[in-house]
Amino acid sequence: MKKPLMLLLSLIPWHVWADDQTIEAIFKKYEATGTIVIQSYKDGTTYVWNTERSEKRFASASTFKIFNTLIVIDEGVFDPESTQFIWDGTMHEFPDWNRNMSLAMAYKASCVWCYQTLAEQIGAAKYLHHIRRAQYGEIAIPFQGTTFWLDGSFKVSAVEQIRFLRKLYQRDLPYSESSYDALESIMQANSPPAYRFYAKTGWARRVNPEIGWYVGYVVTSSDVWFFAMNTNIQTPLNLPLRQKITLEALQVKGIIP
């Protein structure tokens, strides 16, 4: 387990941080309505744009796949080293979903049918147990065990995403080291040598307005920075803004080159 930060950091109320004007300029440049929270693992330094929205809960969409992946591995439902999802020939709207896949491939493709197959095996009762134990977001009861992260039954704020990511990185939640190791490998995104990204996008399409997410953390030579960004999605053409705004915010704060 990684060493936890001082307890004092977790006690600081989020509203004490003022909106960051340099990050505001990025959102304005792209005419995007949203929020971002960026926080240092080392000393708790935090940058926020749209503080009010950062504490508002939205449908988690595929960002729940971070926690979901940890759950299914630890529950023994899916062995990421030896098991595959077998495509039954049903044609899905995204071509990347129309094939057999490993868990890592399903994570990166945000394959809904893959994770719904796993959800059927986990069941709503176990999901409720894991979510409550992690103190992660809010779930409406009753909920459908195969769609709750998509239909708005499970909601989470950007601030809560950061708190969860910190617990995940510190390995504070009661899951095995091997499960954490497997998740970390699956989360890792393509990155230049100077830093490493571990992240997940999300697109909540069954709610109005539709919400896009980008959450995760970046490991640099001197620190680890957690980030959680969400924005209203008016058209699929807005989807690249999730990563674009996040990367520019990390750059403008000097976190990545």
* CA nearest neighbour of 169 among 206, 127, 236, 215: 215
Give the DSSP letter of residue 257.
Answer: -
For residue 62, indicate whether it is catalytic.
yes
Compute the residue count for the chain: 257
Of the candidates 62, 153, 157, 179, the residue annotated as catalytic is 62
Instruction: Round to whole Å and give the CA distance between 177 and 102.
Output: 21
Chain centre to alpha carbon of residue 110: 12
Is 114:106 a contact under the CB 8 Å cutoff? yes
Distances in whole angstroms, Cα of residue 52 to Cα of each of 49, 116, 126, 250: 9, 33, 32, 20
Distance from C-alpha of 56 to C-alpha of 72, rounded to nearest angstrom: 28
What are the tokens at 34?
Answer: 């949203």
Q: Return the active site residues.
A: 62
